[in-house]
Structure 1
């Protein structure tokens, strides 16, 4: 039981670290103007266009 708990904790820490690195990288890209946060925050822009492209059944265009 102890090994499972330690391994689970390590996985959670690594996942948190990866998310923090990704957040920092996206902040840098946004600061450089390479990432338009307004587009990402406008859910109608990407959700609406995905629905129109495939009849609305699959949000990401998958089959």
Structure 2
């Protein structure tokens, strides 16, 4: 418990798996400064418990 599972550094827009997108929105290489969080189960039933989000705004990141 308490182990880091994923960590990202300087995430950016990119990837060739998207179809039918607006090129004004999907600007490959553009650094992400905000976005959405999604929980994914890969098609199998799953339950999430005690999910906590830490707001890093204003923390020098």
Instruction: Identify the TM-score tier after normalising by the shorter chain.
Output: under 0.3
- Bigger relative CO (Cα 8 Å, ≥ 6 apart): 2
Q: Is the radius of gyration larger for structure 1 or structure 2?
A: 1
Q: TM-score, normalised by structure 2?
A: 0.19
- The two structures have a TM-score, normalised by structure 1, of 0.19
Compare the two structures and name the one with the higher helix fraction: 1
